[in-house]
Amino acid sequence: MGKTEADPFAIFHLPPPGETSSERAVREAKEAEAKRVSDLIDEQLKAEKQALKKEKYVVKVLLLGQSESGAYECKSTTLKNFRMRYAKAAWEAERASWRSVIQLNVIRSIITIVEILQAEMDGDPIDSSTPTTPVESPTPGTPTPALSTLLTDKHQLLKLRLGPLRRVETDLKKRLGQGAMEEVDGAAAELSELGPLSLEPESEVLVKKQRAEWGVHRLHDALEKLSVAVVRVGSPSLRGHGSDDGSKEAGVDDVTDVIASCREDMQALWSDEAVRAVLKKRKMRMEDSAGFFLDDLDRIAQRNYEPSDDDVVRARLRTLGVQEYRISFDPNDNTVFADASDPSLEPRPVKRIPILNIAGVGGDAGREWLLYDVGGSRTMRHAWLPYFDNVQAIIFLAPVSCFDERLTEDSKINRLEDSFLLWRTVCGSKLLQKTTMIMFLNKCDLLKKKLKSGVQVKTYLPSYGERPNDANTVVKYLKDKFKEILKQESPEVKRRSYFYATTVIDTKATAATIKAVRDSILRDYLKSADIV
Ligand SMILES: Nc1nc2c(ncn2[C@@H]2O[C@H](COP(=O)(O)OP(=O)(O)OP(=O)(O)O)[C@@H](O)[C@H]2O)c(=O)[nH]1
Ligand SMILES: [Mg+2]
């Protein structure tokens, strides 16, 4: 190579004239460090590029539905069914942490009962706006016989003996930590100001069934805090309360210890006939409320209690904001179900037909899913919009049992009506025109119970007319209504939709539905991405 053809930039790589050997060593060290940093940046860029490419094939699924204090659409419960089946490692790792949430649910139920007894003692009027499952009780507003005379010294004693649960509730909330907060809505605000429990007539205690509910913004963080607390059991800061007999098992934290010590008193309260009569009069069906575990106290209020899958699914913790979950499907599970849309009320076994081999056709496409669980209250709905972009499927939870209930936040609105409105808005969104729509007509168990107790659908939905008042007919009627709305709101594209009648706390029955849903979403995704 001649002098004129020399690399004009070579001069920049030449050592400075007159460089000593120590200066050279310093320079070379600097150059080596610069190269290391440059290589690192290159590697990061490459990894980001690969992640972006992979992200393109991530299937996004959004769970939607209303949620008001006192009535929920079970979005998080549905998601738990997915994770229990398809994110087994994370599910197992979290299991112990859910114990604290279940304990919190138990304590909440007991405190609610004590407050209702208090209201009866004080002669507080019955709150007619409360959307609870109706039981045979007098029409709100009409004079009701006082049951306070049924409440005796026995109840006073029980109340006193259950007093420590208040402190334990505070401890549990502290454990949930900063990621958690109490969702205080309107009338329930006073509850957070409540002092110690009291059955004295001069007490300031107010009973509202529109309860302040404990919720979390970052479930993962909250559960992680709980697991740390569980590991720390036996640490001095968590000790301090002895059990009835003064003994305490090693490794049992204070909260669990107090709950176990209160087991018999909690059972006595829950099984007491006078208490049941007051609850009935005040239209509170604890059995139908979220996070109900009082029938399982024998098992749960134990020092060695460990939650089962079903317990975790039934545990109630309100979602605030939007939570993201990643699920990676097993690469060996490469068959999908044949189309199983529109099954009858009881999930029908569907024939398993290997219609495609994903690994062979689309590589990793469709293996990674991002599931978004959003807080459903009206004040949170604005937060949904950014998640509509590029979403493959919406799982919409509609509560079929709520045809006779009204929103807590606006007592003029029927809950079913609100669900129809929300469904119309979601179906009509331009961003979702090609999105697969999956509807869970949920809470079939509560619907059956309600109809069995004699509630007539036509009283609340005059258009229901003289159709039979049974669950199958009601579900079919509502499904047709939802389908009609979907059709009206999908004028151009033929959008895929699937409707399922569900009871998502029944994990066994839901397993088949979840599998069918997974397969439908995957099949539609692969088709839309032109992978098949
Ligand atoms: N009886 C009955 N209860 C159910 C059913 N599905 C869910 N639940 C209960 O309802 C409660 C609330 O459900 P969640 O899944 O937390 O409701 P959500 O839609 O996530 O509510 P937000 O987080 O407040 O938006 C849970 O504690 C469940 O135990 C069902 O099909 N039948
Ligand atoms: Mg939730």
Per-residue pLDDT tens for 486-504? 999 987 767 899 999 999 9
Same domain, 269 and 353: no
DSSP annotation of 214: E
CB within 8 Å of 170: residues ≥ 6 apart: none
Atom of ligand 1 nearest to the CA of 213: 24
Cβ of 402 below 6 Å from ligand 1: no
Buried b (16+ CB within 10 A) or exposed e, 328-354: ebeeeeeebbebbeebebebeebeeee
Q: Which domain holds residue 65?
A: 56-73+330-365+376-528
Single-letter residue type at 454 = G
Same domain, 350 and 309: no
User: What is the rounded average pLDDT of the residues 373-399?
Assistant: 79
Per-residue pLDDT tens for 451-470? 999 999 999 988 999 999 99
444 labeled binding residue: yes
CA–CA dist 96, 92 (Å, integer): 8
Q: Whose CA is nearest to atom 13 of ligand 1?
A: 74
CA–CA dist 164, 158 (Å, integer): 11
Same domain, 155 and 111: yes
Same domain, 352 and 286: no
Same domain, 203 and 337: no
User: What is the rounded average pLDDT of the residues 467-484?
Assistant: 96
Domain count along the chain: 2
Q: Is residue 47 part of a domain?
A: no
Cβ of 316 below 6 Å from ligand 1: yes
Atom of ligand 1 nearest to the CA of 446: 1
Q: Is 8 exposed, middle or buried (0-12, 13-18, 19+ CB in 10 A)?
A: exposed
Q: In the chain, what percentage of residues exceed pLDDT 90? A: 37
Identify which ligand lies nearest to the alpha carbon of 317: 1
What the block records as the tokens of 365 is 């496409």
338 C-alpha to ligand 2 centroid (Å): 30
Single-letter residue type at 482 = F
445 labeled binding residue: yes
Of 314, 338, 356, at which residue does a domain stop? 314
Cβ of 376 below 6 Å from ligand 1: yes
Single-letter residue type at 440 = F
Spatial contact of 525 and 361, defined as CB atoms under 8 Å apart: no
Is 192 or 472 the better-scoring residue by pLDDT? 472
427 labeled binding residue: no
What CATH number does the domain containing 502 carry?
Answer: 3.40.50.300
Spatial contact of 233 and 255, defined as CB atoms under 8 Å apart: no
Same domain, 406 and 435: yes
For a mutational test of ligand 1's pocket, the pick from 63, 64, 74, i.e. the residue with the most ligand atoms closer than 8 A to its C-beta, is 74
Q: Is 143 exposed, middle or buried (0-12, 13-18, 19+ CB in 10 A)?
A: exposed
**CB neighbourhood size of 122 (10 A):** 17
Is 248 or 44 the better-scoring residue by pLDDT? 44
Same domain, 193 and 149: yes
Query: What is the reported pTM?
Result: 0.74
Same domain, 286 and 335: no
80 labeled binding residue: no
402 labeled binding residue: no
Same domain, 211 and 150: yes
Is 20's pLDDT higher than 60? Answer: yes
Is 310's pLDDT higher than 90? Answer: yes
Atom of ligand 1 nearest to the CA of 316: 27
Q: Is residue 48 part of a domain?
A: no
323 C-alpha to ligand 2 centroid (Å): 9
Q: Is residue 81 part of a domain?
A: no
Least confident of 41-45, 147-151, 256-260, 401-405: 147-151
Q: What mean pLDDT value characterizes the chain? A: 76
Identify the pLDDT of residue 472.
96
Cβ of 80 below 6 Å from ligand 1: no
Spatial contact of 73 and 398, defined as CB atoms under 8 Å apart: yes
Same domain, 334 and 269: no
Same domain, 306 and 426: no
Identify the pLDDT of residue 347.
40
Q: Is residue 399 part of a domain?
A: yes
Residue 134: band (very low, low, confident or very high) from pLDDT cuts 50, 70, 90: very low
Is 437 or 289 the better-scoring residue by pLDDT? 437
DSSP annotation of 125: P
Per-residue pLDDT tens for 68-99? 544 566 888 999 999 998 888 889 988 888 99
Same domain, 100 and 225: yes
Cβ of 310 below 6 Å from ligand 1: no
Tell me if ipTM is over 0.95: yes
Helix or strand run (H / E) with residue 397 = strand 393-399
User: What is the rounded average pLDDT of the residues 426-445?
Assistant: 92
Q: Is residue 296 part of a domain?
A: yes
User: What is the rounded average pLDDT of the residues 405-421?
Assistant: 77
CA–CA dist 397, 373 (Å, integer): 12
